[in-house]
Amino acid sequence: MDRNQVIGFSLLAALLIGYVMYSQHEQKVFYEKKQADSIAYAKAHPRPIVDSSKLIAATAGVDSATADSATLALRALQPSAFNGTAQKVTLENGKVSVEFTTKGAYPTAASLKNYKTYQKKELYLFNGGGNVMSATLPIDNNRATADLYFSPVTRTEPNGDKTIDFVADLGNGKKVELIYTLPADDYMMRCNVVLTGIQASSLPLTWNTSLLPTEKDLANERMNTQVYYRNKDEDHDYFTVAAEEKTIDNKSNAPHWLGLRKQYFSTALIADDGFSKMDSKFWYKNESKDVVAYNTATMMLPMKPAGNINTASMKWYIGPNDYKTLKSYKIDLDEMVPLGVGIMAFVKYINQFAIIPIFYFLAGFVSNYAVIILLMTIFIRLILSFFTYKSYLSSAKMRVLKPELDELREKCGDDQQKFGMEQMKLFRSAGVNPLGGCLPMLFQLPILLSIYYIFPSFIEFRQKSFLWADDLSTYDSILNFGFNIPFYGDHISLFTLLMTASSLFLALYNKNMTPQDPNNPMLKYMPYIFPIILMGVFNRMAAALTFYYTFSNLLSIAQQFIIQKYFINEQAIHAQLQENKNKPPAQSKWAMKLEEMQKMQADKAKAQPRKK
């Protein structure tokens, strides 16, 4: 090939390349212009929304072929959001799986992957058609998003978060988006509402939920099912589910979140900017064995305007009532773990700052939760041993003084006022505080109450077995009657029986160690009646709780035996009390006031005329 041929072929190749590039450029310009013209035409000629009822009425009585043609014509005229077929879409991570429907773009089912029901089945917090979240749009006579068909677009973010973007095109430049994002390792799902071409300062939001049973005892699960809510001013409250509808009317305050709590699992809807109003109804049906409770809530969701777009952001918690998990969100969701309520609300601080830290500290070293209960019991008894010793020491002093008290009682006869004054003089001279045995026991009572609240609420005990108890979070039934015994139940809980037996033995042991007041004969029976009453109360309680109380009673018996045998010498105590009598009495203001009151009562009694 000579020089001229090389030049000719080079020119032809250059022309070919230039032609291809020019053609691609012109084609791109053509399609962009065509798209712009189409958009301009659509804006200038909006597609009318055909009333389906009128079209159906107009085609009534025609043959099936004509009717099918009318249906096709209707679907062709309406945007895709108004017709379609509901499909299921799933969003999941390693902890939770949420199933959505494309009709309405809301969750219809939620299951927790790391938990099972008591029957060892897949654990659904809610599942089925009774679960709806719908917003009312200010268009087409208040159309609900639950009636729209959405097109889902799923994607996985670089950080592992998974997102479903539900889009409903309403035509005429109007569009609704519901965007759900589930973090890679969390129970808190994010939900963004985006309205395009729809002006709304707030949206009425309806949230219907049917909570499913997951535990052994449906009645007990209902008793531990509540609605919680927190206002933007951080004030919060709750109420328990009932057979009749209960209503929260929170229109005067701005609620931040609304939570539906079962015994060990919860779902909560949280608005980033709070709801402007809220009305919630919560109830259960006695005849329903498949649903724990029903909830219908209506809230006003404030929208943020940005030109032609209005947005709102929410979060949706679907997960366990794990104290550490709920507390990590820092919006008081941990209030759904009952640590102390009502007049006993003060014990929640004992749980927060003592019991829970001790529990998690031990759980860091011990994997067996029954062993953790044993260690906690020993630790708590050691902490309270000082008060226990002071109580037993006071009882020993009273036993030493019993012969002298019996002499005073015989000397005073039926004159109780005189006996009371002489008794106080004896206590003062001997240096004995008559309340010394009661006050140390009162210091131990808050610990017992705090355990009463926290142990049945600790999800860590759920489905953890020990000895004959297959689940420490519920009662340990060794025999089911098949019928109900009033004030007791339909089964026998062995740990409850052991707790009652150990309480009776402890009461009998204390009887021999504590002097009895002959003027109050009923007092000597109360230590035996009280455990019998509690047996019916605790028969349906968590095995973790009754096991703790049983072991605590056994430790008390052992502790009392050791203190009485090795730390308390009644002969030395008697000698010390006699020596105190020879010292000038150091009377406290409280004792002086008490003695003065007794003297006034005695003088008043003498001044009254005696009946003949």
Torsion angle defined by CA atoms of residues 213, 218, 220 and 221, in that order, rounded to the nearest 10 degrees: 10
pLDDT tens-place string over residues 243-284: 888 887 776 778 899 999 999 999 999 999 999 888 899 999
Candidates 293, 295, 317; CA nearest to 221 is 293
* Pure H helices in 45-129: 52-58, 64-77
pLDDT, residue 410, reads: 78
> Going from the N-terminus, what domains does the chain have, and what CATH number goes with each?
85-337 (2.70.98.90), 350-593 (no CATH)
Token pair belonging to 103: 């009709």
> d(Cα 499, Cα 506) in Å, to the nearest integer?
10
pLDDT tens-place string over residues 390-410: 777 777 777 777 787 777 777
pLDDT, residue 534, reads: 87
Residue of higher predicted confidence among 173 and 179: 179
pLDDT band, very low/low/confident/very high, at 590 (cuts 50, 70, 90): low
One-character DSSP codes across 268-323? EEEETT--SEEEEEEE--TT-SS-SEEEEEEEEEE-EEETTEEEEEEEEEEEE--H
Q: Which amino acid is at 317?
A: Y
Query: Where is 382: in which H helix or E strand?
Result: helix 369-383
> d(Cα 228, Cα 366) in Å, to the nearest integer?
33
> d(Cα 190, Cα 56) in Å, to the nearest integer?
41
Q: Output the 3-class SS for 421-449.
A: HHHHHHHHHHCCCCCCCCHHHHHHHHHHH
Alpha-carbon 611 to chain mean position: 63
* Helix (DSSP H) and strand (DSSP E) numbers for the chain: 16, 22
Q: Output the 3-class SS for 490-559.
A: EEEEHHHHHHHHHHHHHHHHHHHHCCCCCCCHHHHCHHHHHHHHHHHHHCCCCHHHHHHHHHHHHHHHHH
pLDDT band, very low/low/confident/very high, at 427 (cuts 50, 70, 90): confident
pLDDT tens-place string over residues 549-572: 999 999 988 988 888 888 877 777
The arithmetic mean of pLDDT across residues 17-24, rounded, is: 49
The arithmetic mean of pLDDT across residues 165-186, rounded, is: 93
pTM of the model: 0.77
Residue 568: DSSP 8-state = -
The mean pLDDT value of the chain amounts to 81
The arithmetic mean of pLDDT across residues 221-238, rounded, is: 89
pLDDT band, very low/low/confident/very high, at 62 (cuts 50, 70, 90): very low
> d(Cα 254, Cα 258) in Å, to the nearest integer?
11
Evaluate whether 295 touches 264 at the Cβ level (below 8 Å): no
What percentage of the chain has pLDDT greater than the value 90?
Answer: 46
pLDDT tens-place string over residues 308-366: 899 999 999 999 999 999 999 999 999 999 988 878 888 989 999 999 999 999 999 99
Name which of 313-317, 354-358, 458-462, 595-599 the model is least confident about: 595-599
pLDDT, residue 53, reads: 38
